[in-house]
Amino acid sequence: MIETHLNTTCRIGGVTFKNPVVMASGTFGFGKEYGKLYDLSRLGGISGKGVTLHPRPGNPGIRVYETPSGMLNSVGLENPGIPAFLEEECAFWETLDTVRIVNLGGGTVQDYVEGARLIDEDSNRRQARGRRAVDMIELNISCPNVKAGGMAYGIKTCVAREVVREVRAATTLPLMVKLSPNAEDIADMAQMCEEEGAEAVSLINTLSGMKIDARKRRSVFDNLYAGLSGPAVKPVALRMVHQVCKRVTIPVVGMGGVSSAEDLIEFIMAGAEAVQIGTYNFVNWQAGADLVEGVERFMIEEGIADLNEIRGIL
């Protein structure tokens, strides 16, 4: 930390983040690998790799393709399943001095609910022993809805409402719903989350995209479409965060292409409480540490003592 009198803290659902720099799901594993490169306690928080009730092998074929100032990924939610996550990763999470967020995915509403219940129960058991590994659930509604023919839950507000309502009822942990930019109306989606009792929303997940290998005359990805992230999506993400901030009163966590402290500040000015960093971790392996410092430097240079002075000024 550069200056101690700066107030960079954020509050979401009763949880305090020491600063607005949160690592985005899927780009930071469960923190172990980056934890060997720098001190994770400098971060505001970490959202872990998306987990589902049952283990998933993820998608076959090529999983990453670089695009101008961005990348397409088709990881397909490869994860060890929630029981294995609780067993193998949470002991490490217990040791972390940063906000720990579980990113929860699913294929059916029952999967989501059962997953949330397992996380909740585990959390209660740990708390009874005076421990804590999870501070918050981030509900990823971009998963394909098995029942609705594979269309993501996060497209239509009425389809998403059921998942949000059921998961809300299944956990007492603070709930943040992660919205897809592919939603028909992302502000409506956010409003629905507020109505259903979510403590926060986060956005944006990746934008659905495509790459064709013209020589081979086929899609680069076995799964046909893939998710676009990185600097290329930032203007879209910022506009969506701004729209959502205008609609809801619950905290909004912004993300999409953040690659500098000024990018991050833009999201705060659009109204975000905190900001997540995804793809930039691949560009700069100490992205988190650098951005925490960069935000403090920006505040000093601009004479800002508290981020609230600039939050939502537009």
Ligand X SMILES: Cc1cc2nc3c(=O)[nH]c(=O)nc-3n(C[C@H](O)[C@H](O)[C@H](O)COP(=O)(O)O)c2cc1C
Positions touching ligand X (CB under 6 A) are 24-27, 49-50, 73, 75, 77, 103, 140, 178, 205-206, 229-230, 233, 255-258, 277-280
Question: Among candidates 223, 257, 224, which has minimal Cα distance to 239?
Answer: 257
Catalytic residue status for 10: no
Q: How far is the CB of 307 from ligand X (least distance, A)?
A: 19
The structure tokens listed for 232 are: 């290329």
The residue annotated as part of the active site, out of 10, 143, 193, 245, is 143
Of 50 and 251, CB closest to ligand X: 50
- Residue 139 to residue 25: CA distance in whole angstroms: 11
Phi and psi angles of residue 265, each rounded to the nearest 5 degrees, phi first:
-60, -35
- Residue 76 to residue 58: CA distance in whole angstroms: 4
Contacts with 48 (C-beta within 8 Å, 6 or more apart), sequence order: 25, 28, 29, 30, 31, 85, 89, 93, 100, 101, 102, 103
Binding-site string for other proteins from residue 15 to residue 54, where x marks contact by CB under 8 A and - marks none: -----------xxxx---xx-xx-----------x-----
Distance of alpha carbon 91 from its chain centroid, rounded? 21
Q: How far is the CB of 245 from other proteins (least distance, A)?
A: 27
Q: How far is the CB of 143 from other proteins (least distance, A)?
A: 16
Q: How far is the CB of 59 from other proteins (least distance, A)?
A: 9
Question: Which positions touch other proteins (CB under 8 A)?
Answer: 26-29, 33-34, 36-37, 49, 57-58, 60-66, 68-71, 73, 75, 78, 230-231, 259, 279, 281-283, 285
**Residues forming the active site:** 143
